[in-house]
Amino acid sequence: MRRLLNATIAVFVLSYISAAGIELGAQAKKPAAKAAPARNPVAPTPESIAAGQASFKKYCRFCHGDDAKGDGPQAPKDTHPPNLTDDKWDHGSTDAEIFAVIKDGIAPKLDMKGYNSKMTPQEMWNVVNYLRSIGPKGASR
C-alpha cells in the first residue's frame, strides 16, 4: 500500500513539474532570439523621427519623461531611468544596442521591460532614430 501511495505521489509531482515547464537538472533554455541587424535599416527621415517620437510618447515617456531626460512620473520606485539625451549610455550606444534594449529590456533586474510584444521592429528603429535626433550630435551609430 505504501509503495502504491509513493508511486502515486511521484507520478503527481512529475506531472506537475512537466506541466509547469520546469526542467530537472538543467536550466531551461530560451529559444535563440533573432538578432537585430548590425546597422539601423531605417533611414532617419523626418517621417521616421516623427513616428519614433509618437511611439516614444506612447510607450516610453512615462518613465523617461516627455523630454527623455529620465524624469518620468511613473518610473518604478527606487529606479532612475537614464537621461536619453546625454552622451552617456550605460547599456550601449550603437543603434543596434539601443534597439536591443528597447526590444529585450534591461536584465537581470529588468529595470526596463522589453517591448518586443508591443512594438514592431519598424517602430523600435523609429524610436532609435528619434532618440538620435534629440541626443548628442556625432554619437556613434
Surface-to-core class of residue 83, CB atoms within 10 Å of its CB (0-12 exposed, 13-18 middle, 19+ buried): middle
* 47-80 pLDDT tens trace: 999 999 999 999 999 999 999 999 999 987 888 8
> 75, 131, 132: which is closest to 106 by C-alpha?
75
Q: Which amino acid is at 116?
A: N
131 versus 30: which is more confidently predicted? 131
Instruction: Report how far residue 60's alpha carbon sits from residue 102's, in angstroms, rounded to the nearest whole number.
Output: 9
pLDDT value of position 119: 97
Query: Nearest to residue 124, comparing CAs of 67, 62, 76, 56?
Result: 56
CATH architecture of 37-134: Orthogonal Bundle (1.10)
| Domain ranges across the chain | 37-134
C-alpha cell at 126: 523609429
